[in-house]
Every structure is written in C-alpha cells, then in structure tokens.
Amino acid sequence: MKISIVGAGSWGTALGQVLSENGHEPLLWHHNPEFVEEISTTHCHPFLSEYALHPALKFTHSLEETTAFSDILISALPSQVVRQVFSNIPELKVKIIVSVSKGIEMDTGQRMSQVFEDILQIDSDAFVVLSGPSHAEEVIQKFPTTVVAAGTSLENARTIQTLFSNTYFRVYTGADVAGVEIGGAAKNIIALAAGICQGLGFGDNTMAALVTRGLEEIIRLGTTLGGKRETISGLSGMGDLVVTAFSPHSRNRQVGQRIGKGETLQSILASMEMVAEGVSTTKSLYTLAQTLEVDMPICRQIYRVLYEGLVPRDGILELMSRELVDEHPL
C-alpha cells in the first residue's frame, strides 16, 4: 500500500522504515525543502545517522503531494503544530488518519483526536491513535516493540494493526482513544520529573515512588475524560511511562535532568534540535486538570518548576510534606 506520513522527524521516519520493510511505499513530508533534498540524496536521517534507511522511503516538501498520495495518512508532527499544518490543506480525502503525536494542544486543551475532528470535520471513526513504549532509535534497530492502535472503529484499528505488525513491531488494538491519548501525553510530564530527580541525585526509591504515584495521576485525569483504568495501566500508559521515565533516549527525561542540574528551561530548549513534547503538554495539562478539578500534585509541581520558577528540590520537598492520606481512599 501507499502510505502518507506528515512529519519526517525521527519517529515518522522510523515508522516509515517499518512500513517499508513490510512491503509498503511510504511518502514522508517535511516542511524544509533543504532537508528533503539532503535526505533524498544521502538517504541518511540526521537524528538517526547511524542507521541505513530503507530504499523504498521517499521524501517530499509538498504537503499537497503527500496528502493526495494514499488513503491512509499518518500524522507524526509535534502536537503543537498539528492544527497549523493541517489547516493549510484545502480538502483531505484520506479514509484513515493515524496520529502518533503525544501531546495536548495548549490553546484549547484538546487531544489530537479532537483537534482533527475540529479542523477537518472528519468522522470520529476515521481516526486511529497509535501509541506505546517505542523509541525511534530502538525501532529502527528492530528491537522487539509493542504498541496499541485505538479507534472507535475497530475495523480501522485492525487495518493499522495489520499494516504495521511484523516480527519486531507488534500492534495490539483497542477502542479507548481517550485513555491511549492521555496516557501518551501525560507520561511525558512524569518523565520530566524523573529527569529532575536524576539531575538532583536522587535514587531508586524516589524513582519508584514517582512512577507509581505519577501513574495514579494519569489514571485520575484519563478516567475523568472517559478513558479506562485498564488502558492507562497497559502499554500506552504504564508501558510508555516506564520507557520514557527510565530511558536515555527520552528527550523529556533529558530536559528534566538538565533542569535538575541547574540549567534554565530557556537555555535547554535553545540548544535542542528535537521537540520535548512534555514541556508544552505540562502547561496544557495543568490547565486542563485545574478546569476539571483533578488533583495532580506531581504535574502541578512540574508546571511550577517550568513556568513559575519553583526550585526543583523545594518542589520535591513540598510533595513529601503534604497532608498524610490513604494510598487508595475509600
């Protein structure tokens, strides 16, 4: 099959690699014509420079060409630019849109499924979210990886499952779009916190507490928005949280670690070529939790560290000094 991928960063390219090896023909879009010319000539991705790209991978900077290329389109853009890019498409005729972005839009608090429904007026059955514990650097090396394809149309979710699955990339299906999206977005904030704890020199006890209590916060928000606890306890929630909080590949963890060591957020972002989704998602999720009156103390402290100048060590101590409560209130 011909597959369109909007976003030729490391993750979009790694997914294109999987599709190519499954016998499909992906066309990847990047906004920069110079990037497209270079990668088309060298067949080497600057963020994945150690690995050979499949010869079937093709790149373009024409958005119109990309969106007209196939019936299935994969959005691999940073979540904060999805609306801007897709608003420039006069008419989108694809049958299935697959989002692999892990974020919540800042201005609206919308998940990616809601953004696409808003700007393209698509039927919700046309949308599938693909998410789970999956670093591009490991997928391109064919390390065994498992993710979830969720959609209100299980038929479409299973189409995506079949499209991607092979001996090293296994896709499960589900119908809980909200649970998968919230798990994928909110875990980035806990990964920022994990990096901060590492930067401060804290140990395994701290990390275990952070991940466990962080998961509980994600479940609170996800279930409030209609997601299921079992979804967030699965691959797209707990699984993604573990890999993002502990892996050196995680950009969100890297940002948090540098903050914990004393760097400012502004200097860190200025030095980065790739996007750490958790930085913007912290702001949008904090606002969403406040609006919904969902208690998320870890996420609140990360917001204060990033945007209100709270000293990271003080933020941790404040969390430890809160009123004592039951682990699972009756």
Catalytic residues: 187
Beta strand pairing call for 145-150 and 127-131 = antiparallel
Assess contact for 60 and 29: CB atoms under 8 A: yes
Residue 328 C-alpha from the chain's centroid: 29
Residues 6+ apart with CB under 8 A from 317: none
Dist. CA 50–CA 41, nearest whole Å: 16
Dist. CA 182–CA 190, nearest whole Å: 12
Structure tokens at 233: 């306890």
Assess contact for 109 and 172: CB atoms under 8 A: no
Q: b/e per residue, 28-58, with b = 16+ CB within 10 A?
A: bbbeeeeebeebeeeeebeebeeeebeeebb
Residues 6+ apart with CB under 8 A from 10: 45, 47, 48, 136, 137, 274
Rg of the chain over CA atoms, in angstroms? 19
| Residue type present at position 249 | H
Q: 266, 238, 256: which is closest to 316 by C-alpha?
A: 256
Residue 324 CB-density burial (10 A; 0-12 exposed, 13-18 middle, 19+ buried) = exposed
Dist. CA 236–CA 251, nearest whole Å: 18
| Angle between helix 204-224 and 177-200 (nearest 10) | 150
Question: Which residue(s) pair with 5 in the sheet?
Answer: 28, 74
